[in-house]
Structure 1
Amino acid sequence: MSFKQILVQAGVDKGAERRAQIAADLASRFEADLSGVFLSPAAPSVYLGAGMEAAPPAAVLKDLEDAHTRTVLANAKAARTTLERAAAGTSVDWREIEGGAPNNLVEAARTADLLIMPGPPENTREGVFAPADAVALSVGGPVIAVPDTSTATRVGRNVLIAWNGSRESARALRDALPLLTRAEQVSAVIVDHPAAARDGEQALEQFLRRHGCRSVNVQRLPEGGRPPSEVILQHAAHAAGADLIVMGLYGHSRIREFILGGVSREMLDDSPIPLLLSH
């Protein structure tokens, strides 16, 4: 089991270079093809006179549209340069797609083995970014979301699995196997709260060892009145020293987690460590 096609969302935001480095490193380690996709934003509706009592003169609109086009072209060129520089001479397949709706990125990623894209928060960035959870729910494969707060330039050498025995958790585990079997250290944590998997430590450890994972460590940790996400993130950063967290996405409905909160939502919002997401 391996990754043969790795796709990274390129851009000019502050996390673009780190995503490019992570993607290039993984492509090199797996001897995989590397592809970059740049989502070109459509011209803002104000350029077309939307919402205005009187539309601007045609000449003004054309100047605005031309300026927008020049900016998009310049950003696409800069994004491609960043990715190719990270790839260090390795051939990169390049695509530019107009529009920033999640479906545009999902469609591009469905024929890749792994997608690397920005994590939250999207509202602080320049460019076009579909929410990582929306993409991961639809793409049908693993997504590595790299948060703005991450300083990682490579992932997958020290991996932590957030395990609760759910279908989503099992899907993420299997989707991450190419990384887990090559990792130097694989840890897993079960947060001991009412929804936790019962007696899951031994079964999970056996599964990982059967697949050839090295240096496996599975622990059950007490909730201690804290949110499970806090327990996981503290363990990942301090005890495990993880560079990647593997987790299933939205065991409850996405709407319920958005309104009431939940482990998926809290991990997406709070983790400074890249997340491998799967649903």
Structure 2
Amino acid sequence: MICKTLLVHLDDSTHSAARTEFALDLARRYDAHLIGLYVVCPDMTRPFFLQDEGAWIAMHDARRDANLKTAQERFLAAAAQAGLSSVEWRAPEGSAVDVTVLHARHADLLVLGQHDPEDPSSYISRHFVEDVVMSSGRPAIVLPYAGTVHTFAQSVLIAWDGSRESARALADALPVIKHAKFVTVVTVETGPTHGEPAGIDVAAWLERHNIQAGFATAPRVSGVSAGSLLLNMLTDRHIDLVVMGAYGHARVQERLLGGMTRTMLQSMTVPVLMSH
């Protein structure tokens, strides 16, 4: 994958500015075109009692238009301040997931944000990030809502389970991790492997791409999900990027892994590069 077109999701949340700054930095790094895609939750919830429904709708539309204008001005101002001229603003109408997926398919890499339960403006739709990742056919870097991203892709953990999804994510991540100082391929013990390729084989494949990687096996702990095991490793290894496959809600693999996709999206503390 060559990153020449990046797409960052923008909304009215307090975290939109951080995503913009992160995406601008990536665009400079890859000399890429950056698309700012403004998509928010189409909240049209009306109060139970309205004396003038027309006035309420007009007020709602005015607030929506003002928010859109503010978001556009902030995005373009941040791009100008960063010295990035190849930027584009888009604010399509329609279903939040559908329009995001459509525009995402014309980009190489997406920048999305974890849902913040304390910020109502960060809610777009249920399972928004998962649906976009699994329907767009594009890799996405999901930023955590808590904390600040001080470093990125310097110490990388690759969650490897031998699945199609993890293979896709690792291939998509190559341009992002090629300058990492530390890369570790981590597998979670699930039982006898019967000679299947494991972490050491992935590390050898990465070495042929000029990426030096170590490998480790996390022992399975009864009652602890694979996602929780990986989360516990992030601080110990000073990880600043996780690379992993994304699994659907109803897939058998998702249940066997203990809902690793869901666990990471709910509890991530560092950026996660996901691909389906």
TM value normalised by structure 1: 0.85
Once residues 199 and 254 of structure 2 are traced to their aligned partners in structure 1, the CA distance between those partners, rounded to angstroms, is 26
Matched, 1:15 2:15: yes
> Matched residue of 1:46: which SS?
coil
Once residues 205 and 186 of structure 1 are traced to their aligned partners in structure 2, the CA distance between those partners, rounded to angstroms, is 9
For 1:18-37, what aligned pairs fall within 5 Å after superposition? 18-37=18-37
Once residues 183 and 13 of structure 1 are traced to their aligned partners in structure 2, the CA distance between those partners, rounded to angstroms, is 31
Q: CA deviation at 1:257?
A: 4.7
Alignment partner, residue 205 of structure 2: 207
Gap change, CA 1:153 and 1:249, over 3 Å in 2: same
Once residues 196 and 140 of structure 2 are traced to their aligned partners in structure 1, the CA distance between those partners, rounded to angstroms, is 28
Alignment partner, residue 238 of structure 1: 236
Match of 2:64 among 72, 82, 101: 72
CA contact (8 A) 2:115 2:123 kept: no
Once residues 34 and 154 of structure 1 are traced to their aligned partners in structure 2, the CA distance between those partners, rounded to angstroms, is 21
Opposite residue 211 of structure 1, the aligned amino acid is H
For 1:1-279, what aligned pairs fall within 5 Å after superposition? 1-42=1-42, 44-46=44-46, 56=50, 60-87=52-79, 88-91=82-85, 92-121=87-116, 124-126=119-121, 129-130=124-125, 131-152=128-149, 155-194=152-191, 198-213=196-211, 215-225=212-222, 226-239=224-237, 241-250=238-247, 253-254=250-251, 257=254, 261-279=258-276
Opposite residue 97 of structure 1, the aligned amino acid is P
Once residues 79 and 188 of structure 1 are traced to their aligned partners in structure 2, the CA distance between those partners, rounded to angstroms, is 39
CA contact (8 A) 1:136 1:142 kept: yes
> Matched residue of 2:92: which SS?
strand
Gap change, CA 1:194 and 1:75, over 3 Å in 2: farther
Per-residue CA deviation, residues 5-52 of structure 1 (Å, 9 max, x unaligned), is 0000112212112111111111110000111011154461538xxxx6
Range that drifts further, 223-232 or 191-200:
191-200
Q: CA deviation at 1:199?
A: 4.8
Gap change, CA 1:269 and 1:203, over 3 Å in 2: same
Per-residue CA deviation, residues 48-105 of structure 1 (Å, 9 max, x unaligned), is xxxx6xx956xx2232222222222222223223333443131220001224531111
Provide structure 2 residue ranges, at least 5 long, that are not aligned to the other structure: none
Once residues 19 and 263 of structure 1 are traced to their aligned partners in structure 2, the CA distance between those partners, rounded to angstroms, is 24
TM value normalised by structure 2: 0.86
Once residues 148 and 14 of structure 1 are traced to their aligned partners in structure 2, the CA distance between those partners, rounded to angstroms, is 9
Gap change, CA 1:122 and 1:95, over 3 Å in 2: farther
Gap change, CA 1:86 and 1:158, over 3 Å in 2: farther
Per-residue CA deviation, residues 122-163 of structure 1 (Å, 9 max, x unaligned), is 684316624111111100010112232242166323221111
Q: What number of residue pairs does the alignment pair up?
A: 269
Q: CA deviation at 1:195?
A: 8.2
Once residues 161 and 186 of structure 2 are traced to their aligned partners in structure 1, the CA distance between those partners, rounded to angstroms, is 9
Once residues 184 and 81 of structure 1 are traced to their aligned partners in structure 2, the CA distance between those partners, rounded to angstroms, is 37
Once residues 42 and 260 of structure 2 are traced to their aligned partners in structure 1, the CA distance between those partners, rounded to angstroms, is 34
Gap change, CA 1:195 and 1:25, over 3 Å in 2: farther
Range that drifts further, 104-113 or 88-97:
88-97
Provide structure 1 residue ranges, at least 5 long, that are not aligned to the other structure: none
Opposite residue 66 of structure 2, the aligned amino acid is A
Once residues 195 and 105 of structure 1 are traced to their aligned partners in structure 2, the CA distance between those partners, rounded to angstroms, is 41
The alignment yields a C-alpha RMSD, in angstroms, of 2.8
Opposite residue 33 of structure 2, the aligned amino acid is D
CA contact (8 A) 1:40 1:72 kept: no
